[in-house]
Every structure is written in structure tokens, then in C-alpha cells.
Amino acid sequence: MRVAPSLCQAYKGVTASDLYERYHGAGGQSRLELDLAVASEMADQVNEAVSEAKGKRDAKGMVSRRNQRRQAAAQVVSDDEALQLLNDAGIID
């Protein structure tokens, strides 16, 4: 079993000597099992988030969302149009 690479990947910045000090001695096995369970859960969450995000990366969907944003922006009244509407309503002179 390759323990160190998976733990080092889950806990960035952890060196092999840190792992040796942490797991060598009394209670090391139980700490190792707990850390492996946490690392596995972290990996599962990352994989789940990545798989959910993959659906949002397709080009057709990206173009569609961009066009929706453009349409929404086009529906916003410009400053000149707002002033004209206020003038027409007699609110401002």
C-alpha cells in the first residue's frame, strides 16, 4: 500500500518525515487509519465537484449562457433612454 503519496496529496506541504513522526510509535496505526479515511473523503468530494462542473464546461452551454447574459444586458435601459422617458413623463425638465 502506498500511504505517503495519498496523504501528502491530501495534506499539501506534508513531508515524508512528518508522516514518519506522526505514525511511528504507539497509536500510529489508528492515526494512520483516521487520516486515510479523511483523505479518502476529501478525494471523493473533489471528484464529485469535478464531475458536477464538467457539465458546465461544454461549449454549447457556454455560448448559450453568454447569449442569455447579452440579452439581459440589452434589455437594460441606457442613460439617454432613461432621461428621455423621464422627460416624456414630465418628471424632469
Domain span including residue 72: 3-88
Cβ atoms of 45 and 10 within 8 Å: the answer is no
The answer to whether the beta carbons of residues 6 and 39 sit under 8 Å apart is: yes
pLDDT interval class at 80 (50, 70, 90): confident
Does the pLDDT of residue 23 top 60, yes or no? yes
The CA–CA distances, whole Å, from 92 to 78, 79, 81, 82, 87 equal 17, 14, 13, 11, 5
In a domain, 15, yes or no: yes
Which DSSP state fits 14?
Answer: -
Q: Is pLDDT of 17 > 60?
A: yes
Give the total number of structural domains in the chain: 1
61 in a domain, yes or no? yes
**Average pLDDT of the chain?**
78
Domain assignment of residue 30, yes or no: yes
Least confident of 1-5, 38-42, 57-61: 1-5
**93 located within any domain:** no
